[in-house]
Chains A and B, each alone.
Chain A
């Protein structure tokens, strides 16, 4: 089968699966939109509908205290027909978002930055999956499909993050800045991806043009660019809603965690148990913890910036305040880019089995807690711990594999030898 035909088949199939699920089970989107594993307070489609209702009735969408998403989503979604009566257009939009994400993901795979960067060439660089296979891994990942069916706005964030990575790989400064600004504007924490992606962009540009631009000017220019774009987005939002209140309702909620609805992350339970006096302190500690991975990884794995960015999305899926399976879907679809590291990973089966177990036990325990009343919050929290453990194993194991891969290049004589950390 020619490649074009395969691509068409893949994208057509993925779109068909989604539209089929949307139409064959009309109650499925609402069911999934109500699941805590899929929709968090900051990504839920139901809350978006509430915000839309207020917005179209000329009330500030943040007045109800329900809507915590970016203001610019409102005019976008108000263009679509009402999703509760005519859901088809919305469904098509979310399907398209997924297809686009898969497309930019395949661009990342095609760039080859996962195995060969400017400063590093993996000795296993021939071991890789085709961009089509990587895209298929994203499109047919059950977590991605679930996110799409639930119409969670994380799908949009994922698209922008992937686009930012893809544009950085291609060395397209402007689109990179735009995508990353949109991602950061929507969910804030993608801002942490800026340093590794900036390095990636720099490497890509330097590789292409032979004469590397001055690092200092390059950094200053891009920081300025990012600030300008984000500033423009924020000003547009303020103009749209008529005040700066949206800052507290969106980024404030993400930062300060006032909504303790359960999710698959580690924060909610901890903060329900917390005495108020310690709240601010631990908020600081938790955020510091999330942010601290970025400099460490960026410095240590300076030669593989794409790997740093991918690992950071994994960190986000575990340690941010409102993670959902959409974040895990993003990370799990970036991992196949590093196919060459798989032989070095030691716990793949364990990690995948853990994630699978958590996927099934999570809803079971949530049912016991909320519906049957025979369990309690600890049941669900225990499973979110297992889920995070599974993801952390992948993150840690792939980090080990990446370091080992670097070592194999630096010290070929050590190849195949057991190494010890000292």
Chain B
């Protein structure tokens, strides 16, 4: 009871309102620092294979010897294909599959992205598992062109050789699908969409043959030409579209087979050299977060993951002594492991950050970091809400005592309950001093106005102040916050539906508009609605509340995106309507630099890629992969930024 009453007393304390900005800042700092300690041994764990059916590397692999000659023959065949048309090339590939006694089908697809057509054709073959009942399948992919737009000669040849080799085994208890998509991103997307009947039949052909539920997919990217190339390491790519990740067991199996059984080093996130230092672990993690946050497709496997099909891509990198046969054996062993699966991969983690090939951080350890940052916005929203409910300071009374402590007076005015002096305790000072002042206030110079309330003949005198309620004018802030969220739809549509050539001009126009729009809105707001300070506070409160809410929901779906947006929005917790041009100008400049378009521009400049290229990819993501990073940018980040900027810009137009 004592605790509750002391907490209630604390609630009445004006000083409690001074706390939230510091608390928010603390949460942001802790949130970022949290991320920085994750690479330490104390906070990360070694990976382990959780699903015991996988038994990685427990089988002997036989893809050697004469299979090498077969592979080389296929590679020569494939080397003759790039000059042919898509039609002829796929006919040839289909013939090669057919010669291995597999069922073959083809699928044409066309996507329209920024007014240009991406059209190509997939070819795939189905091996019916001798012990399978066609209810489950695993997929082996070699895209005709890899992410760098090189022809995937050896990858395709390896898939052909493995198809012929796998066909002779009697132990497959799942169907195996060999897929050669026309390119690395839209081809697999068209195929996997059509496999699950989620495609648009007008532009994407339906699949002629199908098998059972997909249990896993492995893509091979080995662009070595007809004379081969010995590689150094396998680069395992695992990021799916929208930052979804495959089950960690699949990744672990691949690593454990490649490095344990075959002796091939594994690397990830383009960290070609990784000596397991803190800096390199951190760099790996940050690269992983960036890829996850942007949510773009990183390989042919990416499109499978949204359909809950765990998938990875094995990319050969560097110059070393491993040859195509060791890659083939890796894939063979990996497929033998997947073949063992009794149920869908579910044992291990779906949310993780990898620090190197055998070290990871699980969701329980890293999630608080993004949640703390999201919580900072919620705390500020609550604080601003409470602040908006406090009445404006009353006209200065004559009493010297009250002039000395105007805040104490507040507490008694805006309250509908007066503090009841409880038995004295060792509480905080404020409640003590309150009690001392209580009698003086009610008896001496500042007698508060009283109102007579009568009921059933009995009359009571009640302080008028306790009858007053601080009303919040909610309509304008609510409408403003809602409309800013709808305003975000405009750039969203503009960027996703304009032709490629106009992306650059649109970008520049948007950048200019975004710099000026808050000023214009603030001016209009000031002179048409004349928002009171309370309404400005409420605008900010609502926008921060929504931001905190969106970010905490997003953190469960795409941690990295939520974290990045949270950090970029962090100043919004601290901006206020300032008095004076200079303060407003400084804050406004800070916000202008942090608007989505400006951040995109700077990020492109730092990364050394063209803005157009990024916009085109984003447009492709929207049209092909179902990417929703843009929705977050324009539906979460932009409205919050806009509301904050307008609040700051109001400082330029004093009442």
A contacts, CB < 8 Å to B = 123, 127, 343-344, 349, 353, 356-357, 360-361, 364-365, 367-368, 371-375, 379, 409-410, 412-413, 415-418
Q: Which residues of A contact B466 (CB under 8 A)?
A: 415-416
- Determine which residue in A344, A360, A367, A410 has the highest number of CB atoms from chain B within 10 A of its CB, and name it: A360
Given A357-B552, A364-B557, A371-B308; A416-B463 close (CB under 8 Å) = yes
Given A360-B553, A361-B556, A374-B244; A415-B346 close (CB under 8 Å) = no
6 example contacts (A-B, Cβ-Cβ < 8 A) are as follows A353-B381, A364-B554, A373-B350, A375-B556, A415-B453, A418-B417
> Judging by beta carbons under 8 Å apart, are A417 and B553 in contact?
no
Q: Which residues of B contact A413 (CB under 8 A)?
A: 460
Closest residue on chain B to residue A350 by CB atoms = B382
> Judging by beta carbons under 8 Å apart, are B346 and A373 in contact?
yes
B378's partner among A353, A379, A412, A415 (CB-CB below 8 A) is A353
Q: Which residues of B contact A416 (CB under 8 A)?
A: 415-418, 462-463, 466
- Determine which residue in B344, B350, B381 has the highest number of CB atoms from chain A within 10 A of its CB, and name it: B350
> Judging by beta carbons under 8 Å apart, are B455 and A412 in contact?
yes
* CA gap between A285 and B350 in the complex, in Å: 38
B244's partner among A123, A356, A365, A372 (CB-CB below 8 A) is A372
* CA gap between A343 and B306 in the complex, in Å: 48
Closest chain-B Cβ to A12's Cβ sits at a distance in Å of 18
* CA gap between A374 and B418 in the complex, in Å: 52
> Judging by beta carbons under 8 Å apart, are A372 and B549 in contact?
no
> Judging by beta carbons under 8 Å apart, are A361 and B419 in contact?
no
> Judging by beta carbons under 8 Å apart, are B550 and A360 in contact?
yes
> Judging by beta carbons under 8 Å apart, are B417 and A373 in contact?
no
Known: A344-B416, A416-B417. 15 other contacts (CB 8 A): A349-B382, A349-B385, A353-B378, A356-B545, A361-B556, A374-B244, A374-B350, A409-B455, A412-B458, A412-B459, A412-B462, A415-B466, A416-B463, A417-B417, A418-B419
Q: Which residues of B contact A343 (CB under 8 A)?
A: 416, 469
> Judging by beta carbons under 8 Å apart, are B351 and A374 in contact?
yes
Closest residue on chain A to residue B11 by CB atoms = A346
B490 within 8 A of A: no
Within 8 A of A (CB), among B429-464: 453-455, 458-460, 462-463
Closest residue on chain A to residue B247 by CB atoms = A374
Given A343-B469, A349-B385; A412-B549 close (CB under 8 Å) = no
* CA gap between A415 and B350 in the complex, in Å: 56
Q: Please, what's the 1-or-0 string for B571-590, where 1 marks a CB less than 8 Å from any CB in chain A?
A: 00000000000000000000
* CA gap between A410 and B553 in the complex, in Å: 46
> Judging by beta carbons under 8 Å apart, are B552 and A367 in contact?
no
Q: Which residues of B contact A375 (CB under 8 A)?
A: 556
The 3 closest A-B pairs by CB, nearest first: A374-B350, A416-B466, A373-B308
> Judging by beta carbons under 8 Å apart, are A372 and B462 in contact?
no
Q: Which residues of B contact A361 (CB under 8 A)?
A: 552-553, 556
Closest chain-B Cβ to A410's Cβ sits at a distance in Å of 8
- Determine which residue in B8, B346, B386, B417 has the highest number of CB atoms from chain A within 10 A of its CB, and name it: B417
Closest chain-A Cβ to B367's Cβ sits at a distance in Å of 13
- Determine which residue in A412, A413, A417 has the highest number of CB atoms from chain B within 10 A of its CB, and name it: A412
Given A349-B382, A353-B378, A412-B460; A417-B420 close (CB under 8 Å) = yes
* CA gap between A390 and B327 in the complex, in Å: 55
Within 8 A of A (CB), among B447-489: 453-455, 458-460, 462-463, 466, 469
Closest residue on chain A to residue B459 by CB atoms = A412
> Judging by beta carbons under 8 Å apart, are B556 and A123 in contact?
no
A372's partner among B308, B546, B550 (CB-CB below 8 A) is B308
Q: Which residues of A contact B306 (CB under 8 A)?
A: 371-372
Q: Which residues of A contact B469 (CB under 8 A)?
A: 127, 343
Interface SS of A by simple majority: helix
Q: Which residues of A contact B463 (CB under 8 A)?
A: 416
Q: Please, what's the 1-or-0 string for B339-360, where 1 marks a CB less than 8 Å from any CB in chain A?
A: 0000010100011000000000
* CA gap between A416 and B463 in the complex, in Å: 9
Closest chain-B Cβ to A132's Cβ sits at a distance in Å of 13
* CA gap between A343 and B415 in the complex, in Å: 10
* CA gap between A357 and B553 in the complex, in Å: 8
* CA gap between A410 and B455 in the complex, in Å: 8
Q: Which residues of A contact B378 (CB under 8 A)?
A: 353
**Interface size, B (range):** 35 or more
* CA gap between A66 and B497 in the complex, in Å: 42
Within 8 A of A (CB), among B248-270: none
* CA gap between A290 and B557 in the complex, in Å: 35
Closest residue on chain B to residue A352 by CB atoms = B545
* CA gap between A410 and B378 in the complex, in Å: 39
B545's partner among A123, A353, A368 (CB-CB below 8 A) is A353
Closest chain-A Cβ to B472's Cβ sits at a distance in Å of 10
* CA gap between A413 and B466 in the complex, in Å: 12
> Judging by beta carbons under 8 Å apart, are B244 and A364 in contact?
no
* CA gap between A364 and B419 in the complex, in Å: 43
* CA gap between A364 and B458 in the complex, in Å: 57
Closest residue on chain B to residue A362 by CB atoms = B553
Q: Which residues of A contact B453 (CB under 8 A)?
A: 123, 412, 415
> Judging by beta carbons under 8 Å apart, are A415 and B455 in contact?
no
Within 8 A of A (CB), among B399-438: 415-420
Q: Which residues of B contact A373 (CB under 8 A)?
A: 308, 344, 346, 350
* CA gap between A344 and B119 in the complex, in Å: 65
Q: Which residues of A contact B385 (CB under 8 A)?
A: 349
Given A415-B460, A416-B416; A368-B346 close (CB under 8 Å) = no
> Judging by beta carbons under 8 Å apart, are B550 and A368 in contact?
no
Closest residue on chain B to residue A365 by CB atoms = B556
* CA gap between A137 and B458 in the complex, in Å: 39
Q: Please, what's the 1-or-0 string for B493-518, where 1 marks a CB less than 8 Å from any CB in chain A?
A: 00000000000000000000000000
* CA gap between A368 and B553 in the complex, in Å: 11
B549's partner among A127, A349, A357 (CB-CB below 8 A) is A357
* CA gap between A373 and B240 in the complex, in Å: 14
Q: Which residues of A contact B458 (CB under 8 A)?
A: 412
Closest chain-B Cβ to A69's Cβ sits at a distance in Å of 30
Q: Which residues of B contact A415 (CB under 8 A)?
A: 453, 460, 462, 466
> Judging by beta carbons under 8 Å apart, are A367 and B557 in contact?
yes
Q: Which residues of B contact A344 (CB under 8 A)?
A: 416
A418's partner among B420, B459, B553, B557 (CB-CB below 8 A) is B420
Q: Please, what's the 1-or-0 string for B536-573, where 1 marks a CB less than 8 Å from any CB in chain A?
A: 00000000011001101110110000000000000000
A417's partner among B344, B351, B418 (CB-CB below 8 A) is B418
Within 8 A of A (CB), among B158-190: none
Given A361-B552, A416-B462; A372-B418 close (CB under 8 Å) = no
Q: Which residues of B contact A409 (CB under 8 A)?
A: 455
Q: Which residues of B contact A379 (CB under 8 A)?
A: 556
Closest residue on chain B to residue A361 by CB atoms = B553
* CA gap between A236 and B262 in the complex, in Å: 76
> Judging by beta carbons under 8 Å apart, are A372 and B350 in contact?
yes
Within 8 A of A (CB), among B522-548: 545-546
Closest residue on chain A to residue B451 by CB atoms = A415
Closest chain-A Cβ to B50's Cβ sits at a distance in Å of 14
Closest chain-B Cβ to A54's Cβ sits at a distance in Å of 26
Q: Please, what's the 1-or-0 string for B371-402, where 1 marks a CB less than 8 Å from any CB in chain A?
A: 00000001001100110000000000000000
Q: Which residues of A contact B350 (CB under 8 A)?
A: 372-374
Q: Which residues of B contact A353 (CB under 8 A)?
A: 378, 381-382, 545, 549
> Judging by beta carbons under 8 Å apart, are B308 and A360 in contact?
no
Closest chain-A Cβ to B198's Cβ sits at a distance in Å of 12
Closest residue on chain A to residue B461 by CB atoms = A413
